[in-house]
Amino acid sequence: MSFRKLNAGLLTAAWACFASCSPRVTTIAQYDAGLGRYIEAESGKLSGPFLIAADQTASAGHFIYAKEGATFDTVPGNARAEYELTADSAGTYQIWGRIHGLDIDSNRFWFQVDGGTWVLWRITTGDVWFWSYFHDNLKYSVRYTVSLSAGTHHLVIANSVDNAGLDRLYYAPDESEPEDTQTMCNPPHSVQLNGVCNASCGALAGTGHCISSPCATGSAPVVTYDCARCCAPAK
Ligand SMILES: [Ca+2]
C-alpha cells in the first residue's frame, strides 16, 4: 500500500499555515544504548484484518496495516499482531513503534502487554514514518512504561482504524531510544505534508479551536490535529 492521497479539501486547511510553520529538523531519537531490541512489525503473528504491505521506506521493506472497514475507538478491533518480548533483566521498560499515521482518520492502534489493559496509542505523522514511544491516547508527553520480570512477555497490537501503518517496534529497560531518525517536523506539534510542516491545533497559538464537525463558516478543519476536530480560520 502506498501512502494515501490527501483529498483536496483537507489540503486547503493544511496549506493554510505555510507562512507560520517553517520546516525544521528535529532529532527524535538520539541514540540506542544497546539495551534495546527491535522487532519488525510484519514478523508478528498476525490474525484478523491485519495485512502486510511493501514500502521501500519501511524497515525490511514491509509494514502492517488493518483493513476492517470500521473504526474502534472504545475497544480494539478484530486485527491482532502478537509479539514476544524478551526481558534480559527485570526492569521498567519502554516500547516504541515506527508508525505512519497520515491524518486524524488513520493515526492509531491499540496495544496490550501481558494481557493487561488495552491502551489506545495515537499520533498523526503525515507523509512520513515516525518513531513514537507508546503513550496513552492524547498524553503525548507521557511515555508508557511497564514493569517486566526477567523472561518472556507478550505484546499484542490491535487495530483502531484502517490504514495506520506499523513498521517496526523497539523496547528497552531504560531511557535508550531506537535508531537515529531525523524528521523535518515534530509530531504531533507539527506534521509533514507534501514537504511542509503543518502546525497542529495547539501550535496555532490560540487561533485554532477544538469543536465538533463541521467547522463554522469562515473556518476549516486542521487536518493534522489529533484531538477530535480542530478548526482554524480559513485563509
Ligand atoms: Ca518493517
Containing domain of residue 154, as a range?
A: 8-172
Return the pLDDT at 77. Answer: 98
Q: With 0-12 CB in 10 A as exposed, 13-18 as middle and 19+ as buried, what is 3?
A: middle
Q: Output the pLDDT for position 209.
A: 58
Q: Are residues 105 and 158 in the same domain?
A: yes
pLDDT at 225: 61
- Give the 3-state secondary structure of residue 15: helix
Tell me how many domains the chain contains.
2
Q: What is the structure's pLDDT at 11? A: 34
8 Å CB contact between 96 and 164: no
What is residue 119's three-state secondary structure? Answer: strand
CA of 63 to the centre of ligand 1 (A): 5
Judgement on whether residues 151 and 71 belong to the same structural domain of the protein:
yes
* Grid cell at residue 120: 489506545
Q: Is 3 inside a domain boundary?
A: no
**Are 90 and 125 found together in one domain?**
yes
Strand partners, 92: 147
Tell me what pLDDT residue 169 has: 98
Q: 228 C-alpha to center of ligand 1: Å?
A: 29
CATH number of the domain residue 152 falls in: 2.60.120.260
Q: How far is the CA of 54 from the centre of ligand 1 (A)?
A: 9
Does residue 226 lie within any of the structural domains? yes
**CA of 160 relative to ligand 1 center, distance in Å:** 19
Q: Which of 172, 198, 213 is the last residue of a domain?
A: 172
β pairing state of 62-66 and 37-40: unpaired
Q: What is the predicted pLDDT for the residue at 71?
A: 96
Question: Rounded to the nearest whole angstrom, what is the distance from the C-alpha of residue 59 to the centroid of ligand 1?
Answer: 4
Low-confidence stretches of the chain (pLDDT beneath 70): 1-34, 180-181, 201-213, 223-229, 235
In this structure, the answer to whether residues 50 and 102 fall within a common structural domain is yes
Note whether residue 1 is domain-resident.
no
Cα-to-centroid distance, 42 and ligand 1 (Å): 6
Q: Do 107 and 212 have their domain in common?
A: no
Whether 200 is covered by a domain: the verdict is yes
Cα-to-centroid distance, 41 and ligand 1 (Å): 5
pLDDT for residue 175: 82
